[in-house]
Structure 1
Amino acid sequence: MQEGDAARGLPDALAKQRPDWKPCEGEDGWTCASVKVPLDYDAPDGETISIALIRRPAQGKGRRLGSLLFNFGGPGASGVGLLPRASVEYEKLNSRYDLVSFDPRGVSESSGVVCRNDAGMEDAATRVDLTPDTAAEEAAYFEDAKDFGQGCEQRAGKLLAHVGTANAARDMDLVRHVLGDRKLNYFGISYGTQLGGTYAHLFPGNVGRTVLDAVVDPTADAFGHARNQTTGFQRALDNYLESRGEDATEGTARIAALLARIDRKSLPADDDRELNQSLALTGIVLSLYSESMWPDLTEGLEEAERRGRGSKLLALADAYNDRTESGTYGTQSHSQRAISCVDTKQRPTPAQAKALLPEFRKISPVFGPFLAWDTAGWCAQWPVPGERDTTDASAKGAGPILVVGTTGDPATPYEGARRMADALGKGVGVLLTNKGEGHGGYSPSNTCVAKIVDDYLLDGKVPADGGTCG
């Protein structure tokens, strides 16, 4: 159902509010604020929650174009935390746009969902096998998943049912309204593309200049997303191995054998910790997100294979899991599961996950088992119902939306970009293919993609559909 304006029908206390911008603690040049939004848009006069915002005003002397709102993905990534650190990538855009980001509902400073304490997170990371091989390991895996969901329900309460992407899109439109922008100019990355597609569907008349980079396939259900990622990560691993002059099939078999050995006996690591199979796999996954991290993968694999130690892969896994050296954990993994499980109606069973194993192992002996089990590990016993099967991104009447797909993207494989462009509709979705590696194409170092995106966002130059960089 398309909606005209999220502020319509809201009480004046919400519709007429204006952010009270104040200097952000520890972030020179940035200001922070919050806006109130309804917990439940079907009950606009009811309970509210706060959405945290961060902004750096346009820095150039040219005509200001308004706000450019960023979402960096996850779901569950904190835009308030990430934008100041990523802003060097967007200095040219900051010349004419206010750079703005936010913590979506259920994330970090916006009533962030936290499902268990640090000790519980550490226990699960060291004890639970994400690719169970025995009945006992399966039981522990699904008991942990149930416990995680129950922790979310106990701590988040009524918020848990309202953290889905559609409500986050409504929040974005209310943010647009209170910022005083007639149209929403938006840059979405990874899950941010799903959020952007949802926004375009709900508010096509409010779509401004919009870029979707590293695109989630809107046509995929829970099984489809897992299949896509199995394909994408194996493709990235093949590209990594071939860049080293190694046969991809042989190299994959070597890494799968290493993981099997670690499954039988964990490797010692720094600070008297151990690298188990699940953490080793997590470290490999992180290192495939960017070609610049391939040397880290090489170092980690060589340390494990030649020296029998797991310190490097464990450090990579810690970075992925947002674990500090002192053993504390960030909240993204909590928010990510909460949002994902509200978004999908599907509740795959352990039997359905197990049935996927032969197919997924054939696609990838390294990543297939983990992603097959993961279909049921996340949402099978989730305490609140899901909202939909797939993402409706049809946006008839919206202006052109630039969709950037990278051919070697591991987490959001390239095929999803074409499907998103098609789903947005003829004359709306404009596909740009980036022939390269990594999760996302826009970067000042990628001069082809950067020029096309910058020309579009700054000057309104819409490229031809089907263009290619690289």
Structure 2
Amino acid sequence: MPTSRLRAAVLTAVVLLSSLVAGCSDDDSGDEDLTAQELRWKDCPAPSQAEGGGSAPSPLPDGDAWQCATMKAPLNWDDPKGDTLGIALIRAKASGDPGRRIGSLLFNFGGPGGSGVTTLPAFGEDYAALRTRYDLVSFDPRGVGRSDGVRCENHQQLDAYFQQDMTPDDAAERTTLLDNTKEFNAACEKNSKEVLPHVRTTDAARDMDLMRQVLGDAKMHYFGISYGTELGGVYAHLFPRTVGRAVFDAVVDPTQTSEQGTLGQARGFQRALDNYAEDCTSKTEDCPVGDTPADVKNRIARLLAQLDAQPLPGVFPRELTQSAATNGIAQALYSRDFWEYLTEGLEQAYDGDGRTLMLLSDSMNGRGENGEYSNLVPANIAINCADDRARYSPAYVEGRLPAFRAASPLFGDFLAWGMVSCTDWAVPGAADHPDVSAPGSAPILVVGNTGDPATPYEGARKMVDALGAGVGVELTYKGQGHGAYDSKNQCVQAAVNGYLLDGKVPAAGTVCS
């Protein structure tokens, strides 16, 4: 199993990593103008475990080194003269003619909870054309990686947490799930109490505007993917006059509550599974995991039912449980490139070997080969719970199970029960959904993928409408997987590059296939 390729590819969907030591500081910053701070760029160190571990980023193809720095930002934006925290940054300086340099192009790859400091160099070559006129810059948002990353349970506790039954069938299993959730949330409060109230998307958007000023840019040029589109939309709402050239890819629907978004994901993952089953069984050679699309899905459903009663050997000493297998299947649907791993994992599981599906699940959860976890999941939960006002009771979730099962027989229960994650969270949620209205903003290119499982295609049109008249420009990619630009589709890349490099806005409604 080529785990290094798998773990690297996973970064497009959920992401992990960072740079220099950063954290809350009680230094007296009352007289400090944070917009005037000078960043001290240095060669990037190896990432911390909170960022996913591994080696320092390799030099760029032209031999230039990736550079890292830490920016001070207010811990509490309502008290900008108070304590600060450090935001970890990474950049690759522009490779082209200095006279044609536009400025910095800031990336957020999603999550929330993903480390841009790791993801950008992992995929830096994909953005080589953009680097000809921009410094490529990314960061660990507050609460992520080394930007005062949220800490909850230890590695052994997380192993048990991810092994638990996340689709309870009776009262005893429901009680266990809720007790484990309360213990996890209590650990987050105990270990990260200071930062939890300050990891909302609005806080990260304000950090981005400070970043823009510290980097010396009059405008915010931005490339947001997945959750990064929500962050970009919130930035555009707060600072519409400073938006420069911006692209949103794999678009989050900003009009939905957390329940509506989760239900949309159930539909999206089911659609992706349907597409996988159709693709596998339509090939000239036999599909090794089913004879027809219905057969593929029925066999997967039987496997998950069997795992609920009897897990398989997984990555020793852990077993492949029903929850881990469901999580691994979902991970494999993030990209068409992962479908071969899904086929391999299912074949192995049908033969009694759960290792590949467990590796896929580990990638989704940020677990490294050394058995240690990044802070991807704790940060994801902390940011979502700080953003989303809703707190769903077990009784409410049970009442909604029929709707989720109708949306996805395979993923419905799994995603529905995930809505209890914010129950008893220490910090109240901010709103029902983000405000991304941005009158006065420059055009924002909004790219939707018809086969996207995690951010369903319909969200792109909702984002365009929510941004307001004259702002959002929709482009459709008829493809598979999470996101469009990194699919290498020439039509999509030409449209995005044309806007970011030359300011050419594609015609609204452009379709690439």
Shorter chain as denominator, the TM-score bin is over 0.9
Distance (Å, rounded) in 2 between the aligned partners of 1:389 and 1:271: 42
Residue 147 of structure 1 and its aligned partner are, at CA, apart by 1.0
Query: Counterparts of 1:277 and 1:113 in 2: how far apart (Å)?
Result: 28
Q: Give the number of aligned pairs.
A: 458
Q: Which residue of 2 aligns with 1:138?
A: 174
Q: TM-score, normalised by structure 1?
A: 0.95
Selected match of 2:363 from 304, 307, 319: 319
1:214 aligns with 2:250: yes
What is the CA-CA distance between 1:15 and the residue it aligns to?
Answer: 2.2
Q: What is the aligned partner in structure 2 of residue 21 from structure 1?
A: 41
Q: How many angstroms apart in 1 are the aligned matches of 2:484 and 2:174?
A: 38
> Per-residue displacement from partner, 1:416-442 (whole Å, max 9, x unpaired)?
011001110111000000000000000
In structure 2, what is the equivalent of residue 148 of structure 1? 184
In structure 2, what is the Cα distance between the partners aligned to 1:456 and 1:75? Answer: 26
AA aligned to 1:318 is D
2:103 — aligned with what?
A: 66
| Equivalent residue number for residue 311 of structure 2 | 266
**Gap regions ≥5 residues in structure 1:** 1-9
How much does 1:325 deviate? 2.3
Partner of 1:160: 196
The amino acid across from 2:497 in the alignment is D
Q: How far apart, CA to CA, are the structure 2 residues paired with 1:398 and 1:353? A: 39
SS at match of 1:36: strand
Do the aligned partners of residues 444 and 308 (structure 1) sit closer, same or farther apart at CA in structure 2, a change above 3 Å counting? closer
| Separation (CA, whole Å) in 1 of partners of 2:387 and 2:373 | 24
Partner Cα distance (1:11, 1:349) in 2: 46
Q: Is the 8 A contact 1:118 1:329 kept in 2?
A: yes
**Aligned mates of 1:225, 1:445 — CA distance in 2:** 27
Q: Which residue of 2 aligns with 1:375?
A: 419
1:39-438 matches, cutoff 5 A: 39-61=75-97, 63-126=100-163, 128-245=164-281, 247-305=292-350, 307-376=351-420, 378-438=421-481
Please give the alpha-carbon distance, in whole angstroms, between the structure 2 residues aligned to 1:12 and 1:328: 38
Aligned to 1:6: none
Partner SS, residue 431 of structure 1: strand
Query: CA deviation digits over 1:65-104, x for unaligned, max 9?
Result: 1000000100010111111111111000011100000000
2:345 and 2:356 in contact (8 A); partners too: yes
Distance 2:91 2:296 in 1: 46
8 Å CA contact 1:267–1:309 kept in 2: the answer is yes
- CA distance in 2 between counterparts of 1:242 and 1:82 reads 31
Deviation at 1:159, TM superposition (A): 1.2
Measured in 1, the distance between the counterparts of 2:405 and 2:103 equals: 48
Secondary structure of the residue aligned to 2:434 is coil
- Following the alignment from structure 1 to structure 2, what is the Cα–Cα distance between the partners of residues 91 and 108? 25
Alpha carbons 1:409, 1:439 under 8 Å: kept: yes
Task: Report which stretch shifted further, 58-67 or 241-250.
Answer: 241-250
One-letter amino acid of the structure 1 residue matched with residue 157 of structure 2: G
Q: CA deviation at 1:247?
A: 4.3
User: Matched residues in 1 for 2:142 and 2:499: separation?
Assistant: 29
The alpha carbon displacement at 1:309 in A equals 1.7
- The residue type paired with residue 338 of structure 1 is A
Distance 1:270 1:163 in 2: 34
Q: Displacement of 1:324 after TM fit?
A: 1.8
Q: Does the 8 Å CA contact 1:252/1:365 hold for their aligned counterparts?
A: no
For 1:446, the aligned partner's letter is: N
Q: CA deviation at 1:141?
A: 0.6
Partner of 2:48: none
The whole-number CA distance in structure 1 between the counterparts of 2:368 and 2:183 is 23
Q: CA, structure 1 residues 205+69, in 2 after alignment: closer, same or farther (shift >3 Å)?
A: same
Q: Does the CA-based 8 Å contact 2:236-2:436 persist in structure 1?
A: yes
- Partners of 1:69 and 1:299 in 2: CA distance: 37
Letter in 2 for 1:14: L
Distance in 2, matches of 1:134 and 1:266, equals 18
Match of 2:5 in 1: none
Note the alpha carbon deviations across 1:339-378, whole angstroms, 9 max, x for none.
Answer: 00000110011111111111111221110001111112x1
Counterpart residue identity of residue 141, structure 2 = P
Query: 1-side partners of 2:147 and 2:171: how far apart?
Result: 39
Cα deviation for residue 251 of structure 1 reads 2.9
Deviation of the 1:118 alpha carbon? 0.4
Cα distance in 1 for residues equivalent to 2:225 and 2:466 = 17
1:199 partner amino acid: Y
SS at match of 1:422: helix
Q: What do the CA deviations read for 1:100-158 (whole angstroms, capped 9, x no partner)?
A: 000001111100001111011012122x2110112111111111111111111111112
- Which residue type is aligned with residue 312 of structure 1? T
Distance in structure 2 (CA, Å) of the matches to 1:269 and 1:374: 23
Query: Is the 8 Å Cα contact of residues 315 and 359 (structure 2) preserved in structure 1?
Result: no
Q: In structure 2, the residue corresponding to 1:58 is in which secondary structure?
A: coil
* 1:248 to partner: Cα distance: 3.7
- In 2: Cα distance, 1:314 partner to 1:87 partner: 28
RMSD: 1.3
Q: Is residue 2:69 matched to residue 1:33?
A: yes
| Per-residue deviation, 1:270 | 4.3
Distance 2:453 2:85 in 1: 35
Q: How many percent of aligned residue pairs carry the same amino acid?
A: 53
Q: Distance in 1 between matches of 2:301 and 2:435?
A: 37
Kindly provide the CA deviation profile for residues 212-256 of structure 1, in whole angstroms up to 9, marking residues without a partner as x: 000111011011011110000000000000112254444323211
AA aligned to 2:279 is: S
2:32–2:81 Cα contact (<8 Å) kept? no
Specify the SS of the correspondent of 1:32.
strand
